[in-house]
Structure 1
Amino acid sequence: MLTNDENLRTDAGLASALRVSLARLNRRLRRQASQHALTPTQLATLSAVERRPAVTPGELAELEKVQPPSMTRVIAKLEERGLLERRPHPTDRRQVTITVTPKGAALLQEERRAKEAWLAQRLAELTPEEKEILRSAAPILEKLSRM
């Protein structure tokens, strides 16, 4: 069996280590959520609508890789809470577009602030050298996330 350092020398070993580490970090960040009681799917949907204002439910379902009926239910829950609103489509009367309400935008901002505060505390515990490595790795991780 390869040691951790030896395993990281292969692409497969690096992929495995990144997968595990990023999944753990993601779980820890999700636990830092504010007290809004949204599901991860609802939060992801709200965030996706913020990134793409005036998106249709069908486009949103495709973006989030879920079936349209499932997305309709998620949108309805978020709309009930006053976080999203439906508006008439500007060119197609048969459709609606979805936008984030000010309440939804405030919730997302609060959510991000809580997670970033937790992460900033963890970063403060690292050495300057470790922080510099992360600064160098951040653009690479972003590139991987968009491939």
Structure 2
Amino acid sequence: MSASEEFLHLTATDLRMATFRLARRLRSARAADAMSDAQLAVLATLRMHGRRTISALAEHERVAAPSMTSTVDGLEKQGFVVRTPDEDDRRRVQVDITETGTEIVVETIRRRDELLADMLRELDYTEEELETLRTASALMRRVTDR
């Protein structure tokens, strides 16, 4: 393995470990304790992208359609989403987030942002270090948005 290949792999390992640990800590902060990560992800997708079919949600979340159906069933029972017949094809159903579902997403985001801000504050980063973290987050978004 060349020096640059080795550096790439070491960087990948460091990023994986750091993001996994951070994600685990942030997942603990949520507005609805009984809500699964999968359910919260679906609500966040609907809030960000609007109404979607079960198939589109399954594709976006990279799960099988039956799994997504089960996830949406649970969200619907809790009043976080509603299903409506597709205007163009009555055999299809569109899923949309309710106001209550939106409130859950907004509050969870607020709690997670506050938790992370508290964690950063405790470490007393300089503005330069915070700028480095912001630059790194933009680079990581390029990886995750592909």
Is TM-score (shorter-chain normalized) higher than 0.5?
A: yes
**56-65 or 111-120: bigger deviation:** 56-65
Aligned residues with identical type, % of pairs: 33
The equivalent of 1:4 in structure 2 is: none
Aligned pair partner of 1:61 in 45, 58, 63: 58
1:46 is the counterpart of 2:51: no
1:85 is the counterpart of 2:82: yes
| One-letter amino acid matched to 2:66 | P
For normalisation by structure 2, the TM-score amounts to 0.89
Aligned pair partner of 1:18 in 10, 15, 33: 15
**In structure 2, how many angstroms separate the alpha carbons of the residues matched to 1:99 and 1:108?**
13
| One-letter amino acid matched to 1:136 | T
**In structure 1, how many angstroms separate the alpha carbons of the residues matched to 2:74 and 2:134?**
38
Structure 1 residues without counterparts, runs of 5 or longer? 1-8
Does the Cα contact within 8 Å between 1:85 and 1:98 map onto a contact in 2? yes
The equivalent of 2:143 in structure 1 is: 144
1:135 is the counterpart of 2:134: yes
Structure 2 residues without counterparts, runs of 5 or longer? 1-5
**100-109 or 117-126: bigger deviation:** 117-126
1:35-77 CA-to-partner distances (Å, cap 9, x unmatched) read: 4410111111111222222211111111111111111111010
